[in-house]
Amino acid sequence: MKAKVTLKEIVAERMVYALLLVHYYWMWARRDWHDYYMTIQNTINIFAIVFFALQAKRIRKYSKEEKDELAIQNLRRADAIGLKIMVGAVILIAFACCVECFDSRMAGYALVGMLFALTVIRFILFCIMDSKGV
């Protein structure tokens, strides 16, 4: 595996972080219990440990490689757009809580769902910007 680790791969792997966060919030916030939940939790926990170990190895390899400055600028632009989207979504969630459309558990689901959606949007924006060479 002498191939270089690209910034696009690193950004795509952040979606797995967000999906793990959604899963862990589901584990904390659920109000029911089924016997198969323990199997799901243990499977996700083992996956997370293996994923984090492999991710640490890839990030260490990426840090030793030469950086693509244009890709880093495109990622910063995508992050700036994502920040504006996030601020708007948080304002909407806060307003929904104020007018009692959401309870605290639903607000939490909305927040972690927004974080996952934001990582997907960030990846799509980065891919579009990086392919055009903006």
| 121 within 8 A of 14, measured Cβ to Cβ | no
Per-residue pLDDT of the chain (134 residues; tens, 9 = 90+): 467 778 888 888 899 999 999 998 988 888 888 888 889 989 999 999 999 999 888 888 877 878 788 888 999 999 999 999 999 999 999 999 889 888 888 888 999 999 999 999 999 999 999 887 55
What is the rounded CA–CA span in Å between residue 48 and residue 70?
Answer: 31
What's residue 29's pLDDT? Answer: 84
Strands, E assignment, 47-125: none
Contacts 24+ apart (CB under 8 A), 78-83: 78/122, 78/125, 78/126, 78/129, 79/122, 81/125, 82/118, 82/121, 82/122, 82/125
What's residue 19's pLDDT? Answer: 93
The predicted model scores a pTM of 0.81
